[in-house]
């Protein structure tokens, strides 16, 4: 294990989330993980950002050793030439299931944005999101990945695989020509995906009676894009479903009226040769293939049952899609983007507008059979991998149901699982993130 396993940016030292009263060691670890993700989003986000420097802080984890899951490099990647952006080998963390979960498989795709041009992909190559060289060689499983029933009532004993993200296309890139302009960036996302799925089938996944494909953020988008192909890996009588956590990125104009995310996705799709991996019906009907990187354009074509966990006030979307720096030259959104309690009433009205738009977009999908959603009104991003958000006495609820309970109701078809929250700030169970100290 590398010595810097828990080396985290300075802002994790004084965990500023007062709502997380009396932090236990476990919660601290979760906070640190969350901070690491926030750190990624802020530092490696391809969108413009202020420059800043970081020191380091060690956070000690006290979790039982058995919750640590080692990294397994793919054994077929070398022969398939399925490389991370930098040419290193991709891989995953596998925790075997037990008891009644022995023939059930949950595949969890890590998130971490995308890259849209040669400089941003070259920079990514030097991080754990572009190279397994920089990855921690073990990881702790929480939330939907936890093997503890109290934390994870329905999936605790399943086989669990966390697929590491070491390229920049949500596992979809496959350009016709590579190494444009001598840059030596391996755009092999689709090949990595195919290689890893083949490998998992040979080590037990083919025996699945039940399977769930899930991902967070860019991994959530990957779970949607690959959903039907994943379903086709199994026999007809296997129960297969897909879940996107904070993976529903809407095609919205920013507050200045610019198409920031649309032009960003255009660049991602064309740089990395993603078109062939996108839904063919969608590509055929939309003039521009990159539109089919937006879930709203292809989710109606997905045949497999889908569940969306999506905060209506997703802080990543607010910072990068709705109010990116280019749309806010005077910085009047800067504080609001870091803490929703800093937003003035005009800004909140704008955010409510984005929520209304999301609900309108999702309205058409609520009636699809066996679909489900948990759309809460918290200022947060991914929620399934953290114990304090997934299922605990203090996690976010809608109609008194946690995300874990709602996802279980959906997967096992116990009851209808469409849960949509009232607008912010109506829900006192929200875990709202305060990113203020991360802006140094
Ligand atoms: C490669 O270089 C050419 C000419 O400088 C440029 O037009 C093109 O956009 C570059 N390709 C990439 C992928 O950056
Ligand atoms: C965004 O829109 C404004 C005007 O609405 C324009 O002046 C500005 O150049 C645009 N920014 C970008 C990055 O397109
Ligand atoms: C909410 O659910 C918990 C169990 O998860 C239960 O103990 C509690 O009574 C419920 N509260 C309400 C108001 O229904």
The CB-based long-range contact list for 411-414 (8 Å cut-off, 24+ gap) reads 411/154, 411/212, 411/241, 411/307, 412/154, 413/370
pLDDT of residue 16: 28
Q: How do beta strands 210-216 and 104-109 pair?
A: parallel
More confident residue, 211 or 44: 211
Nearest CA to ligand 1 atom 6: 181
- Ligand 2 atom closest to 326 (CA): 13
Are the beta carbons of 202 and 72 closer than 8 angstroms?
A: no
Q: Which helix (H) or strand (E) holds 317?
A: helix 315-317
Radius of gyration of the chain (CA): 20
Which residues sit with their C-beta closer than 6 Å to ligand 2? 256-258, 326
Nearest CA to ligand 1 atom 13: 180
Q: Ligand 2 centroid vs 407 CA: distance in angstroms?
A: 41
* Pocket mutation for ligand 2, best pick of 46, 252, 257, 258 (most atoms within 8 Å of C-beta): 258
Give the pLDDT band (50/70/90) at residue 220. very high
Q: Ligand 2 centroid vs 258 CA: distance in angstroms?
A: 6
Mean pLDDT to the nearest integer, 332-352: 98
CB atoms within 10 A of CB 281: 12
Residue 154's CATH number:
3.40.50.1820
pLDDT of residue 223: 98
Identify which ligand lies nearest to the alpha carbon of 393.
3
Q: Ligand 2 centroid vs 259 CA: distance in angstroms?
A: 9
Nearest CA to ligand 1 atom 10: 181
Q: Does 203 score more than 70 pLDDT?
A: yes
Nearest CA to ligand 1 atom 2: 181
Secondary structure (3-state) at 139: strand
Summarised one tens digit per residue, pLDDT across range 423-436 is 999 999 999 999 99
Are the beta carbons of 23 and 31 closer than 8 angstroms?
A: yes
Task: Check if 381 is active-site.
Answer: yes
What's the CA gap between 186 and 178, in Å, rounded? 7
- Residue 37 within any structural domain of the chain: no
Q: Print the SS3 string covering 271-305.
A: HHCCHHHCCHHHHHHCCCHHHHHCHHHHHHHCCCC
The per-residue pLDDT of the chain, averaged, comes to: 87
What's the CA gap between 434 and 398, in Å, rounded? 21
Identify which ligand lies nearest to the alpha carbon of 429.
3
Q: How do beta strands 306-309 and 159-163 pair?
A: unpaired
Mean pLDDT to the nearest integer, 164-175: 97
pLDDT of residue 335: 97
Secondary structure (3-state) at 316: helix
Summarised one tens digit per residue, pLDDT across range 108-156 is 999 999 999 999 999 999 999 999 999 999 999 999 999 999 999 999 9
- Ligand 1 atom closest to 271 (CA): 13
pLDDT of residue 306: 98
Which residues sit with their C-beta closer than 6 Å to ligand 1? 118, 180-181, 271
Task: Check if 314 is active-site.
Answer: yes
Q: Ligand 3 centroid vs 400 CA: distance in angstroms?
A: 6
Q: Ligand 3 centroid vs 392 CA: distance in angstroms?
A: 12
Nearest CA to ligand 2 atom 13: 326
Summarised one tens digit per residue, pLDDT across range 379-404 is 999 999 999 999 999 999 999 999 99
Summarised one tens digit per residue, pLDDT across range 9-39 is 222 222 222 233 333 334 334 444 444 444 4
Catalytic residue among 67, 254, 314, 434: 314
295, 298, 301, 307 alpha-carbon torsion, rounded to 10°: 0
- Residue 179 within any structural domain of the chain: yes
Summarised one tens digit per residue, pLDDT across range 295-334 is 999 999 999 999 999 999 999 999 999 999 999 999 999 9
Q: Ligand 3 centroid vs 17 CA: distance in angstroms?
A: 25
- Ligand 2 atom closest to 257 (CA): 5
- Residue 11 within any structural domain of the chain: no
- Residue 411 within any structural domain of the chain: yes
- The count of structural domains within the chain is 1
Tokens of 368: 């699809």
Closest CA to 33 of 59, 55, 65: 59
Nearest CA to ligand 1 atom 1: 181
Q: What is the pTM of this model?
A: 0.86
Closest CA to 210 of 301, 303, 305: 305
- Residue 59 within any structural domain of the chain: no
- Residue 21 within any structural domain of the chain: no
Residue 333 is given by DSSP the state: T
Nearest CA to ligand 1 atom 14: 118
The domain in which residue 176 lies consists of 68-439
Identify which ligand lies nearest to the alpha carbon of 253.
2
Identify which ligand lies nearest to the alpha carbon of 256.
2
Catalytic residue among 88, 131, 217, 277: 217
Least confident of 4-8, 247-251, 269-273, 289-293: 4-8
pLDDT of residue 47: 36
DSSP-assigned states of every residue in 7-45: EE-GGGTT---TTS-S--HHHHHHHHHHHHHHHHHHHT-
Give the pLDDT band (50/70/90) at residue 439. low
Q: Ligand 3 centroid vs 303 CA: distance in angstroms?
A: 35
Summarised one tens digit per residue, pLDDT across range 52-102 is 222 222 223 334 446 899 999 999 999 999 999 999 999 999 999 999 999
Give strand pairing partners of 216: 245
Q: Where are the beta strands (DSSP E) in 84-220?
A: 91-95, 104-109, 138-140, 159-163, 210-216
pLDDT of residue 25: 37
Tokens of 133: 């060289």
């Amino acid at each position: 294990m590398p010595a810097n396993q828990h080396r985290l940016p300075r802002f994790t030292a004084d965990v500023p989330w007062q709502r997380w009263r009396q932090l236990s060691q476990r919660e601290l670890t979760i906070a640190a993980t969350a901070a690491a993700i926030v750190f990624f989003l802020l530092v490696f986000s391809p969108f413009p950002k202020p420059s800043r420097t970081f020191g380091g802080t060690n956070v000690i984890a006290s979790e039982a050793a058995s919750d640590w899951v080692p990294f397994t490099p793919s054994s077929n990647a070398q022969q398939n030439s399925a490389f991370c952006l930098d040419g290193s080998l991709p891989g995953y963390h596998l925790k075997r299931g037990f008891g009644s979960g022995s023939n059930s498989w949950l595949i969890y795709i890590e998130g971490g944005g995308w890259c849209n041009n040669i400089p941003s992909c070259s920079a990514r190559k030097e991080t754990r999101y572009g190279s397994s060289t920089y990855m921690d060689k073990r990881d702790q499983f929480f939330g939907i990945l936890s093997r503890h029933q109290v934390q994870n009532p329905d999936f605790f004993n399943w086989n669990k695989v966390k697929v590491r993200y070491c390229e920049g296309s949500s596992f979809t890139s496959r350009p016709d020509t590579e190494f444009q302009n001598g840059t030596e960036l391996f755009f092999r996302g689709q090949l990595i995906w195919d290689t890893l799925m083949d490998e998992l089938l040979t080590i037990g996944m083919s025996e699945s009676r039940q399977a769930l494909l899930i991902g967070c953020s860019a991994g959530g988008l990957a779970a949607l894009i690959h959903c039907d192909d994943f379903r086709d890996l199994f026999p007809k009588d296997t129960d297969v479903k897909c879940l996107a956590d904070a993976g529903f990125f809407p095609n919205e104009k920013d507050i200045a009226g610019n198409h920031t995310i649309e032009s960003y996705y255009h660049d991602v799709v064309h740089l990395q040769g993603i078109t062939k991996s996108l839904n063919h019906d969608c590509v055929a009907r939309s003039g521009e293939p990159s539109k089919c990187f937006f879930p709203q354009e292809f989710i109606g074509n997905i045949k497999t049952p889908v569940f969306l966990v999506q905060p209506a006030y997703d802080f990543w979307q607010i910072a990068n899609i709705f109010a990116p720096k280019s749309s806010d030259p005077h910085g009047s959104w800067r504080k609001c983007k870091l803490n929703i309690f800093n937003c003035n009433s005009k800004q909140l009205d704008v955010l409510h507008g984005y929520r209304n738009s999301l609900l309108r977009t999702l309205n058409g999908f609520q009636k699809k059979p066996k679909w489900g959603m948990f759309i809460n009104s918290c200022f947060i991003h991914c929620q399934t991998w953290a114990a304090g958000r997934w299922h605990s006495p203090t996690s976010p609820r809608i109609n008194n149901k946690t995300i874990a309970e709602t996802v279980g109701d959906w997967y096992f078809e116990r009851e209808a699982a469409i849960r949509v929250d009232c607008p912010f700030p109506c829900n006192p169970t929200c875990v709202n993130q305060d990113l203020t100290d991360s802006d140094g």
